[in-house]
Chains A and B, each alone.
Chain A
Amino acid sequence: MLTAQWMYGLAGCVIMALGLRGALLHASLLQRIVAINVMGAGVFMLLVAVAYRGPVLPPDPLPHALVLTGIVVAVSATALALALARRLHAEQEDD
């Protein structure tokens, strides 16, 4: 078991937990969106750590592809969430 793999995997779990905690506890909508993105980054770190096979062997490309897809999906969801929030705000200001 590679030290680097384990360190980054553990860090991924910690970041994921940090993000989840932020998503559940924050009152501000924007910060909850940031927290969900942080949570996603934690999961991605987990995947990239799984892919790492040491300095000599080339890394496993499959998790890299999965993370790439995940990054794009995350930004799509963030954009939609922000648009919804903006619409909500516009409604509140009109009231």
Chain B
Amino acid sequence: MSPVSLPLFDALLLFSIVGLAWASLATTDERRSVILFIAFGLVLAVAWGRLLAPDVALAEAAIGAGLSGALLLGAVHRQPRPLSPGSTNDSRNQGATGMGVVLRWVVTLLCTALAGTLAWALLHAFSSVPHDMLPRAISGNLAASGVSNPVTAVLLNFRAYDTLLELAVLLTAVLGIFALGQANPGYQPAGPVFDSLVRWLVPVLILTSGYLLWVGAHAPGGAFQAGAILAAAGVVLRLAGRTRIGLPEGFMLRIVMAAGVGLFLLVGLTLLLLGRPFLGYPPAWAGSLILLIETAAMLSIAATLLLAFLGGRPESPAHAARTESANTTASNSGNEEQTPC
């Protein structure tokens, strides 16, 4: 692009992004807000591409806009009435009262001040000498990292510990969701048009996820994007009213959920016991170890994101029967013991 049109493109792009964010938060209709948010996420992905961040763009489109959007839309559609704050937030229901208006203006002022201060500090940071010690270190050590995609190298090698904890975050969220109840009721079986779409879309998604996993070592891609696409395949199957959406059941499901963190720990601790630093891959083995970890991570991520979309413990007859009986015991226990007080 010529030097003139690129800033123009940037301006248009940023204008749409900020505009979509504004519109999404300005409307009071929840459904419109969520749909505008999904659009916001997709245009944001274009921005990431513009800023030469294709890995982030893929993840934003798949997870940030796609899966988050699906979760939010599902929440909107399930409520017969808008999600009211109820007991969670009584004090902010001011709306039209005088106190409410003052509060709104104070908050708006504070947020503007925040944006201004942050922008001022950012300007200062950008105007000073650029610090490139870390990018140079990354490119310098890239050869020893086992992959040639620098983002994958950072995620799975240099800062693998962060990724390990992040997989634990995913697991924690899903375990919390499990504890809250059963999965959302399914959808009705798809009509012929949707069904035929699903028939070719799902295999394509599965293939794409496998490809993204493989290619992540030397091009944009990786376990997270691949896992999200695989989860999307499951979501599509669910939306089409299928009962079998690719999730294993019972013990196998828990194995898959735990696989990402588990394999990471296994590799890391084995290396530790062999005398190397924790998660310090030997350079000759690094590529294979990373692929191994990424495969397990992809399956874990796909399962956990799909379970998050399901919104609770998946229903299966044996599991449901066991949970029913356990729940009745649970409601009786944990309270008073029989000793009179």
Asked whether A and B interact, the reply is yes
Within 8 Å CB of B24, what residues of A?
A: 34, 38
Contact B22 A8 (CB under 8 A): no
- Separation of A88 and B181 alpha carbons in the complex (Å): 11
Contact B25 A29 (CB under 8 A): no
- Separation of A44 and B88 alpha carbons in the complex (Å): 28
Q: Which of B22, B41, B53, B139 contacts A67 (CB 8 A)?
A: B53
The residue on A at minimum CB distance from B136 is A60
Contact A37 B37 (CB under 8 A): yes
Q: 8 Å CB contacts to A: which residues of B1-52?
A: 6-7, 10-11, 14, 17-18, 21-22, 24-25, 28, 30, 33-34, 37, 40-41, 44, 47-48, 51-52
Q: At the interface, is chain B mostly helix, strand, loop or mixed? A: helix
A-B contact pairs, 21 of them (CB 8 A): A8-B14, A13-B115, A27-B95, A46-B118, A53-B130, A60-B134, A61-B135, A61-B153, A62-B135, A62-B138, A62-B154, A65-B155, A69-B155, A71-B63, A72-B59, A72-B224, A75-B305, A76-B170, A78-B68, A86-B311, A92-B86
Q: Is the CB of B104 closer than 8 A to any CB of chain A?
A: yes
Contact B126 A5 (CB under 8 A): yes
A84 with B180, Cβ < 8 A, contacts A8-B14, A51-B51 known: yes
Within 8 Å CB of B68, what residues of A?
A: 37, 74-75, 78
Q: Is the CB of B208 closer than 8 A to any CB of chain A?
A: no
Q: Is the CB of B276 closer than 8 A to any CB of chain A?
A: no
- Separation of A49 and B119 alpha carbons in the complex (Å): 12
Q: 8 Å CB contacts to B: which residues of A47-95?
A: 48-53, 55, 58-62, 64-65, 67-69, 71-80, 82-90, 92
Within 8 Å CB of A60, what residues of B?
A: 132, 134-135, 138
Interface-centre pick from A18, A55, A58 (highest chain B CB count, 10 A): A18
- Separation of A30 and B22 alpha carbons in the complex (Å): 16
Which stretch from B72-80, B237-245, B265-273 is at the chain A interface? B72-80
Contact B52 A31 (CB under 8 A): no
Q: At the interface, is chain A mostly helix, strand, loop or mixed? A: helix
Contact A9 B119 (CB under 8 A): yes
Q: Is the CB of B111 closer than 8 A to any CB of chain A?
A: yes
Within 8 Å CB of A51, what residues of B?
A: 51, 53
- Separation of A25 and B85 alpha carbons in the complex (Å): 12
Q: Which of B75, B122, B308 contacts A75 (CB 8 A)?
A: B308
Contact B22 A18 (CB under 8 A): yes
Within 8 Å CB of A34, what residues of B?
A: 24-25, 33-34, 37, 72
Q: Is the CB of B108 closer than 8 A to any CB of chain A?
A: yes
CB distance from B235 to the nearest CB of A (A): 12
A1 with B104, Cβ < 8 A, contacts A15-B18, A41-B40, A41-B64 known: no
Contact B51 A30 (CB under 8 A): no
- Separation of A78 and B154 alpha carbons in the complex (Å): 25
Number of interface residues of A (CB under 8 A): 76
CB distance from B12 to the nearest CB of A (A): 11
Contact B75 A86 (CB under 8 A): yes
CB distance from A60 to the nearest CB of B (A): 4
Q: Is the CB of B127 closer than 8 A to any CB of chain A?
A: yes
Interface-centre pick from A28, A31, A88 (highest chain B CB count, 10 A): A31
Which stretch from B159-167, B189-197, B280-288, B326-334 is at the chain A interface? B159-167
Q: Is the CB of B82 closer than 8 A to any CB of chain A?
A: yes
Q: Which of B6, B82, B132, B176 contacts A83 (CB 8 A)?
A: B176
The residue on A at minimum CB distance from B9 is A4
Within 8 Å CB of B51, what residues of A?
A: 4, 8, 48-49, 51-52, 59
Q: Which of A59, A77, A87, A89 contacts B52 (CB 8 A)?
A: A59
Within 8 Å CB of B53, what residues of A?
A: 48, 51-52, 59, 64, 67
- Separation of A16 and B139 alpha carbons in the complex (Å): 31
- Separation of A52 and B48 alpha carbons in the complex (Å): 10
Contact A9 B135 (CB under 8 A): no
Contact B40 A83 (CB under 8 A): no
Which 7 A-B residue pairs are closest in the complex by CB-CB distance? A79-B308, A17-B115, A76-B173, A61-B150, A22-B25, A65-B154, A17-B111
